[in-house]
Amino acid sequence: MPTKEHKAGVVSDLEKLFENGKVAIVADLSGYTVAELTRFRRSVDKHNARCKVSKNTLLKIATSNTEFKAIDVIAKGPSTVVVGYDDPAQPAKVVVDFIKTAKKGAVKGGVFEGKTLSADEVKALAELPSKDELLSSIMGGLDSGARNIAGLLEAVIRDVAVLVEEVAKKNNPAA
């Protein structure tokens, strides 16, 4: 049976987990093998997120003074929490895709900017483009706009040059 000191250490670790988090996704991953859970943790780690399995009461204590305090409503029964630190859509994508591929487990919900997300809202968040995809599309739009402006300016200069040449031929027919 865990001691109070052990539980206090777990709560401290959980508080650190949530410290700079942007989004938390709660899922039921019961029924997974150790190998599957290891693969899941590694895929989560690749996207600047962390995964933790803990007792719901300890989660509730650790998040009670944070914007993630709504987790206590979601974390009922076996719960795994994935906390994302950068792009809020990426951890949701990892969790949803992993559960869809394994065909077991379920998304319970999440917390984003202090608001509770239902399982369907987490799935919708997972369908959003990632931060990198959005930035690249914005940069592509800016780049194409700059190319269009450069093409228009080049066309105006070319038209002016042709006009000057025509005027010069008209004024100097001997040349």
Residue pLDDT, tens place only, 140-174? 776 676 677 777 777 777 777 777 777 777 777 66
pTM, rounded to two decimals: 0.69
Higher pLDDT, 25 or 151: 25
At 2 the pLDDT is 67
At 146 the pLDDT is 66
**pLDDT above 80 (res 65):** yes
At 53 the pLDDT is 87
Query: What is the residue-wise DSSP string for the chain?
Result: ---HHHHHHHHHHHHHHHTT-SEEEEEE-TT--HHHHHHHHHHHHTTTEEEEE--HHHHHHHHTTSTTTTHHHH--SS-EEEEESS-THHHHHHHHHHHHHHT--EEEEEEETTEEE-HHHHHHHHHSPPHHHHHHHHHHHHHHHHHHHHHHHHHHHHHHHHHHHHHHHHH-TT-
